[in-house]
Structure 1
Amino acid sequence: MNAKIIALTCAATLMASAVSAQTRNCGPHALVVERLASGYGESRQSIGMASDNTVVEVFASTETGTWTITVTQPGGPTCLVASGEAYQNLNEDLPNTDEGA
C-alpha cells in the first residue's frame, strides 16, 4: 500500500472524531460517493478500518489529480476530512531495515 496514503489515512483517523463533530461536510455515503464521482471524477482508491470501526476511504482522480479523504462513523454519515491536488498512485517497497544489508 502507498506510504502516503497510509500516512494520510492515519492522520484522517486521528482527526475523525473531532471533524465529525465540527464539520458540516457530511451526508449519506452513497450521496458523497456520487458527488465525488460526478463533480471531481474521483473514485475510491483505498479503504481501511480504524480500531473504533470508523471507515476511512481515499478517493482520487488519476486524470485530474484531485483527492479526498472521507470518514464514516458506524451507523453515521460520511464526512469529508481532507482534500487536495497532485494525487499519485505509488507502489513502493518497504525500506530495508536489516542493519547488516
Structure 2
Amino acid sequence: MRRHMTHLLLTFSLFMMLAPRVFAQGAVCLSSADMPAALARIYKEHPLATALTPQNLLIDIYVSAKGTWTMTITQPGGPACIIASGHDFSLMHRDGLVPATPT
C-alpha cells in the first residue's frame, strides 16, 4: 500500500513540475467543455478519474474499453491539455478508492 501511494505521489509531483512546460510547448489543448467529447469521438475514451492538485490544476484520466488512456490537465479557467496518453490501461483493484487489503 505504501509503495502504491509513493508511486502515486511521485507521479503527481512529476506532473506538477512539467505542467508549466506543457502549456508553454504547444500541447494539444481544447476547451475544458470540448475535451471529453473529442476523446469520446476520436478514441472512444470516457472519464475514469479526476484529481485536484494543490496548485488548483485539474487532472482527468480518460480510458477506453480497448485499454487506451489519456491524461489531461486544466488550469483554472483555462483549456484542457493532453499531458500523457498510452495503451494497456488496467486497474490495480476494483474495491473502491482504497483497496481493503494491500496490493
Which category describes the TM-score, using the shorter chain as reference length? 0.7 to 0.9
Matched, 1:31 2:34: yes
Partner residue, 1:67: 69
- Cα deviation, residue 13, structure 1: 3.1
Name the TM-score, length of structure 2 as normaliser. Answer: 0.76
Matched, 1:22 2:25: yes
Secondary structure of 1:29's match?
A: coil
Decide whether the 8 Å contact of 2:29 with 2:79 is kept in 1: yes
Partner letter of residue 67 of structure 1?
W
**Please, which runs of 5 or more residues in structure 2 have no aligned partner?**
94-98
- Cα deviation, residue 73, structure 1: 0.3
**Please, which runs of 5 or more residues in structure 1 have no aligned partner?**
96-101
| Aligned partner of 1:50 among 23, 48, 53 | 53
Q: Per-residue displacement from partner, 1:36-85 (whole Å, max 9, x unpaired)? A: 01111111111101111000011111x21100000000111110000000
Q: Matches of 1:9 and 1:44 in 2, distance apart? A: 19
Name the TM-score, length of structure 1 as normaliser. Answer: 0.78
Q: Per-residue displacement from partner, 1:6-50 (whole Å, max 9, x unpaired)? A: 368513333212101112401101211101011111111111011
Partner residue, 1:41: 44
Q: Which has the higher contact order (CA 8 A, sep 6+)?
A: 1
- Cα deviation, residue 86, structure 1: 0.3
Partner residue, 2:96: none
Secondary structure of 2:34's match?
A: helix
Identity %: 32
Aligned length: 92
**RMSD of Structure 2 on Structure 1 (CA):** 2.3
